[in-house]
Structure 1
Amino acid sequence: MKKKWKDMEQTLRAAESAEPPAGQKERILARAAALPQDTAAAPAASSRRRRTAYWKLASAFAVFAVILSASVAHFGGKAMTNEADISLTDRTSGELYATYADTTGGLPLATGAVDYTKAEACESYACDAPSEKDAMGMDGAAAEGGAPVGLPAQNQQLAAGLLTAGEWCDNDDFAFFQSVLNHNDWYPYQEVYSLSIHDRLAVTVSDGQGAPVQNAAVTLNDAQGSALYSAVTDHAGRAYLFALSEEAAQAAVSVAVSGPDGASVTESVPDGADSLAVTLGSAGSKPQILDLMFVIDSTGSMSDELYYLQNELNDVIQTVAADHPEMQIRLSVNFYRDEGDAYVVLPFDFTDDIAAGLKALAAQFADGGGDYPEAVDSALANALNGHDWSDGSVKLLYLVLDAPPHSEDEAVVSRIGELIPAFAAEGIRVIPVASSGVDTETEFFLRNLAALTGGTYTFLTNDSGIGGDHLEPTIGEYAVRPLNELLIEITNRYCG
């Protein structure tokens, strides 16, 4: 058995390092580039089926090319070089420390990582290759950081645009969202999370010329002037104020708006109103900073897609930075697992050194976990309170995950109930990226999180043929797009 494992390991490594036959890679990329990118003009169901077939055909061509090349190289007697044997698991502690050490251009660990030192991080990454006994870890992840069997090793370069995704913004069709929330399949989760949206007021803030006012603070108040809910206007001058109880819905009487230049106004809320237009004297200055944060589930169940996601997010970050030379881009990448794992939250400070941020992104691997829920609440608490968000910036938080928080724990539920309105008040828009394995409870949680913070819901789809099965969300028609293109478009949209 050991010999068989060794032979299989060498064959897989040969496949990772081998080049496809001449011209094959270009033909595959050409086929992929020719795939339709917009389903809006065709019926969604048939369009989605065609796209699934195209993606799977392209994926099949790619897999065939790599396997054929590996077979020629391996069975044709080609000697494997030392370079071909190098993989993520062969890196030394010194090499990994260089990724994080401040003196070599890496990123310092952020607030909240006190229980996970740099030395421990290096030790976690510098592991031996998996043995026959422990080759597979929790939820299909390779033990102690090795690449999951059947997936690309982390030293194998992949093109971005392989994962497919869709988007749905519940604030754009709030009546539909309310009907979903009250459906029999969803309604029980309102009690589970002590989270119930009783009413919503959509506020639009503009200047005297009708231009949207971005980054205006908007607060829903009761008759005594006490705040019931607060939010910050987006690129279109919109902010969404929610009543999370029947008492709050009945008590709301006014909206106070304060612009980025200090101008302020208070408007009464008409009875039964679900929207309100407010005019300020001036729009103020446009934000010059983008605070871009990624919070990523790195437990074992993410092993089927994590490396692909790292490649996609790498492309998103670099493209957004290139698209906005006029803005200062501050990047923070953070990872989380669960209680009892090597770390619960592994955060990195905001930095304008994009290259250092990308190194931190690429260094992580999937491991740990155990039960289905994960420490989502700890990750969100660190994201809000453990980082130095800029004043007057565009604030986006992409939450990449495949499992819900520990909703069976009342303390966790209470914590989440405090975090969500706090994100909204700070103008931090949470944009979930739902991965394979997400269930109805997780969808409920993520869509509420996105709506209540002024974000939007995104989700991976089966069209790419990558990873496990993806839950079809309870939404209307949507377009299937490459994930990287979708996240770039969303980020640019919020930047204005």
Structure 2
Amino acid sequence: MHTLWKKTVCGLLIQVLVGTQLALAASVVWPTPAPPRPVLQQVPPITPRPNFEAPSATHCQRGIETREVSDGLPRPVPFAMGPMLRKEMAPERATESDALRAPHPAPLAATPAAAAARSESKAMDAPASPFFGAEPRMAPAQPAQQNTAPVTAGMVDDNAAFSEYLAFRKRTQVAHRERDVRDRYLLEVTDTQGRGLPDAEVAVQSANGATTWLRTDAGGKGWIHPDAFDPGHSRFYDVTVRQGGMLTTATLQRGQKSAVEVHLTQARQPAPARLDLVFLVDATGSMGDEIDKLKSSLRSITDEVSRLPSHPDLCLGLVAYRDRGDDFFVRSHDLTNDINAFQGVLNALQAGGGGDEPEAMNEALNEAVHHISWRGEQTTRLLVLVADAPPHLDYGGPQYDDDMMAALGKGIKIMSVGASGLNKQGEYIQRQMAQYTGGRFIFLTYADASNPASGPGRETVHDVRNYSVQTLDKLVVRLVREELDKLPRS
């Protein structure tokens, strides 16, 4: 009887426990099972979705493709070229094939000579001006005039000297878009042998849903600034990393460590070096000297880059900008591997317009980050910004802080170059973009810091110290080499 009672009680307890478990299981919201997939199949996208598309172009073997962004202001349209100029002003890409189909001369934006003619149209007499119905002069692009005086520049790495950078931010009171970077953590993504994995996709998400994205640099590293994207100041963050179909997660806890190490169970594979190098250039009237120097030094830059030990597959792009009411607002030339054609486009670029000091840098950065055909995995992506004025913060369109965050998510490092005359606000904003994306702040130097006409030297008006000086072209090549040297070698 005693045994029977025990069996009965045990049976009742089991039924209660099973019932309880069933009730609990019914109350839990379980995730939908993922469909079966091969181990190396592409991992599903991480949600929530970022405000940018991942770089995915497979090549840059194209001719010059040009796109213009309109400022929305009306402009006179020449009678003979009306349809084509309207296409040029539309926010879409005009290709060389469009020019071949056109019954009239090619659109101004698609032809280097025409672009130069357009930028100089204010100096033309009335009968020759395209704004009075006659066709523009289509002279071939002239090579840039050679100026033997070198351009010298210094450079600071605000991530390496972070405390000095924070002190600079504290003492520099200028209008800017605030992103708090005081609390930061170094992310290191490595393979099974502890070697850095380049261009790995990373999502950092708090419990309240605040999320940011980044891609590791050529050495498998990147910076995470929680307060720049999470107004809730969460304590814990999920760090999700994926590459080549592999996915893993880690936890970032504030104040615990200064670095987060994530390991992917795959070997770092050597691959041919690929470099996407885009120049983002202020083309207003005060930038004439800097543009001429870039024209004359481009060939030496590309030649030296091609001779680097990694022998990178090089693509070049250009985004030029002015301001509202100028001959053009933002004009971009997509990435191409045709160096000679790119040199022709650059030669055709003339400085003009401007007026007030702020320029359309916000809109141009948005164009460079989101509309240039950046190549996909295993690519080193560098954006060289050359400007002597800050952006307009009052236009209400794209804002540089949003797009510097998108640049980090796409794996684009911004190397900002402060040209002569750059004021404190411009310096502050350029250094913001460079620091956040892991880039560098570069500044021109002179024999007399207050007089750019004094010639090359070591002096600068910028709030920097402990810097070395090189010619600008050598400095650009040095930065490219430092990035490419981090890549795995075959």
Partner of 2:245: 262
Distance 1:259 1:320, change over 3 A: farther
**Cα pair 2:360 2:391 within 8 Å, conserved:** yes
What SS class does the counterpart of residue 170 from structure 1 fall into? Answer: coil
What letter is aligned with 2:234? A
The CA distance in 2 between the partners of 1:178 and 1:464, in whole Å, is 27
Contact 1:304 1:467 in 2 (8 A): no
The CA distance in 2 between the partners of 1:111 and 1:124, in whole Å, is 12
Cα deviation, 1:323-371, whole Å, max 9, x if unaligned, reads 2674321111221111111111121111111111121112211111111
Q: 1:108 aligns with which of 65, 80, 90?
A: 65
More deviation, 466-475/265-274: 466-475
Identical aligned pairs, as a percentage? 27
CA RMSD in angstroms comes to 3.1
1:365-376 equivalence runs, <5 A: 365-376=350-361
- State the match for 1:358 in structure 2: 343
Query: In structure 2, what is the equivalent of residue 477 of structure 1?
Result: 466
Corresponding residue number in structure 2 for 1:165: 153
Are 2:167 and 1:179 aligned? yes
Indicate conservation of the 8 Å contact 1:294/1:400, yes or no: yes
Look up the match of 1:156. Answer: 145
Aligned runs of 1:105-144 on 2, under 5 Å? 107-110=64-67, 112=69, 114-115=88-89, 118-121=106-109, 122-123=113-114, 125-126=116-117
- Residue 433 of structure 2 aligns to a residue in which SS? helix
Question: Cα distance, 1:284 vs. partner?
Answer: 3.3
Quote the residue 2:380 is aligned against.
Answer: 394
Residue 467 of structure 1 deviates from its aligned partner by: 4.1
Deviations 1:198-217 (A, max 9, x none): 42111122223221111112
Deviates more, 1:271-280 or 1:483-492: 271-280
- Residues 170, 451 of structure 1: 8 Å contact kept: yes
Instruction: Determine the C-alpha separation between the residues in 1 that align with 2:180 and 2:310.
Output: 41
Amino acid at match of 1:282: Q
State the TM-score, normalizing by the size of structure 1.
Answer: 0.67
- State the one-letter code of the partner of 2:435: A
Aligned-partner residue type, residue 482 of structure 1 = T
* 1:410-425 to 2 correspondences below 5 Å: 411-412=396-397, 415-425=399-409
TM alignment of 1:51-450, pairs within 5 A: 107-110=64-67, 112=69, 114-115=88-89, 118-121=106-109, 122-123=113-114, 125-126=116-117, 155-158=144-147, 162-183=150-171, 186-189=172-175, 192-223=176-207, 226-245=209-228, 247-248=230-231, 250-272=233-255, 273-286=257-270, 288-323=273-308, 326-392=311-377, 393-407=379-393, 409=394, 411-412=396-397, 415-450=399-434
Greater fraction of residues in helix: 1
Q: Which residue of 2 aligns with 1:492?
A: 481
Q: Secondary structure at 1:383's aligned position in 2?
A: helix
CA distance in 2, matches of 1:204, 1:196: 21
CA distance 1:286–1:166, shift in 2 (3 Å):
farther
Identify the match of residue 443 of structure 2 among 456, 459, 473.
Answer: 459
The answer for the alignment partner of 1:10 in structure 2 is none
- Provide, for residues 181-239 of structure 1, a one-character-per-residue CA deviation record: whole Å limited to 9, x for no partner: 122xx2443xx423333421111222232211111122322025x35322111122210
* CA apart distance, 1:280: 2.3
Aligned-partner SS, 2:316: strand
Structure 1 residue 394: Cα displacement = 0.9
Q: Shift of residue 401 of structure 1?
A: 0.7
Contact 1:334/1:347 (<8 A) preserved: yes
Preserved CA contact (<8 Å) 1:214 1:283: no
Greater C-alpha radius of gyration: 2
Q: Which runs of 5+ in 1 are unaligned?
A: 1-104, 132-152
**Preserved CA contact (<8 Å) 2:321 2:361:** yes
**Shift in Å at residue 261 of structure 1?**
2.3
Equivalence for 1:138: none
Q: Secondary structure at the match of 2:351?
A: coil
Q: Which moves more between the two structures, 301-310 or 468-477?
A: 468-477
Deviation of 1:448 (Å) = 0.5
Mark the CA change 1:363 to 1:218 in structure 2 (over 3 Å): closer, same or farther.
same
Q: What's the secondary structure of 1:193's corresponding residue? A: coil
Aligned equivalents of 2:354 and 2:443: distance in 1?
21
Residue 426 of structure 2: SS of its match in structure 1? helix
Deviation at 1:440, TM superposition (A): 0.8
**What whole-Å deviation, never above 9, does each CA across 1:449-490 have from its counterpart, x for those lacking one?**
011112111111114999458853222301111111110010
2:367 and 2:229 map into 1 onto residues whose CA distance is 31
Q: Deviations over 1:377-431 (max 9, x none)?
A: 1111111222211111111110111100012x0615x622321211110111111
Measure, in 1, the Cα distance between the counterparts of 2:305 and 2:166: 33
Contact 1:206 1:279 in 2 (8 A): yes
Structure 1 residues 424, 286: CA separation in 2 closer, same or farther (over 3 Å shift)? Answer: farther
3-state SS, counterpart of residue 250 of structure 1 = coil
CA distance in 2, matches of 1:352, 1:284: 27
